[in-house]
Amino acid sequence: MPTDDLSAPTGADLTAAAEAPVHKYDPDLERIEIRLLLEGIYRHYGFDFRSYAYASLRRRIWKRIAAERLTTISALQDRVLHEPAMMERLLLDLSINVTAMFRDPGFYVAFRRDVVPALRTYPFIRIWHAGCSTGEEAYSMAILLEEEGLYERTRIYATDINEVVIRKARDGIFPLDRMQEYTHNYLAAGGTRSFSEYYTAMYDGALFAPRLMRNIVFSQHNLVTDRSFAECNVILCRNVLIYFDRTLQQRVHKLFYESLPVYGYLGLGSKESLRFTGFEDHYEQVDRREKIYRKIQ
Amino acid sequence: MKPHLSMIAVGASWGGLKALRAIAHGLPAHFPVPVTFVQHRSKESGALRELLQDCTPLIVCEVEDKQPIMGGYVYLAPPDYHLLVDGDEFSLTVDAPVRYSRPSIDVFFESVADRFGAEAAGVILTGANDDGAAGLRQVAARGGLAIVQDPRTAESPIMPRAALRAVPTALTLPLERMAPYLVSLATADEGPRPRRDRSGGADEVRP
- Mean pLDDT, residues B65-82 taken together: 96
DSSP B28: P
> Residue B188: what pLDDT?
58
> Residue A95: what pLDDT?
81
CB A170 within 8 A of CB A136: no
Poorest-pLDDT segment among A105-119, A219-233, B42-56, B177-191: B177-191
CB neighbourhood size of A140 (10 A): 26
The answer to whether the peptide bond before residue B3 is cis (omega within 30 degrees of 0) is no
Counting Cα atoms < 13 Å in the Cβ hemisphere of A31 gives 10
Probe site for chain B from A102, A242, A274, A279 (most B CB atoms < 10 A): A242
pTM for the structure as a whole:
0.88
CB A87 within 8 A of CB A61: no
> Residue B3: what pLDDT?
66
Q: Taking an 8 Å Cβ-Cβ cutoff, which residues of chain A contact chain B? A: 1-4, 6, 9-13, 25, 27, 53-56, 59-60, 96, 98, 104, 239, 241-243, 246, 249, 269-273, 275-276
> Is position B13 annotated as part of the catalytic site?
yes
- Would the CB atoms of A56 and B91 count as touching at under 8 Å? yes
Residue-by-residue DSSP string for B71-86: TTEEEEPPTTSEEEEE
Rounded mean pLDDT of chain A?
90
What is the three-class DSSP state of A14? helix
- Would the CB atoms of A55 and B81 count as touching at under 8 Å? no
Poorest-pLDDT segment among B1-5, B8-12, B70-74, B137-141: B1-5
Q: Chain A within 8 Å of B47 (Cβ-Cβ)?
A: no
* A220 pLDDT more than 50: yes
Per-residue pLDDT of B91-120, as tens digits, reads 999 999 998 999 999 999 999 999 999 999
Per-residue pLDDT of A121-177, as tens digits, reads 999 999 999 999 999 999 999 999 999 999 999 999 999 988 889 999 999 999 999
Please name the residues in contact with A254: beta carbons below 8 A apart, sequence gap of 6 or more.
Answer: A279
- Cβ-based contacts of B7 with chain A (< 8 Å): none
What is the three-class DSSP state of B64? coil
* Complex prediction ipTM: 0.86
- Would the CB atoms of A273 and B94 count as touching at under 8 Å? no
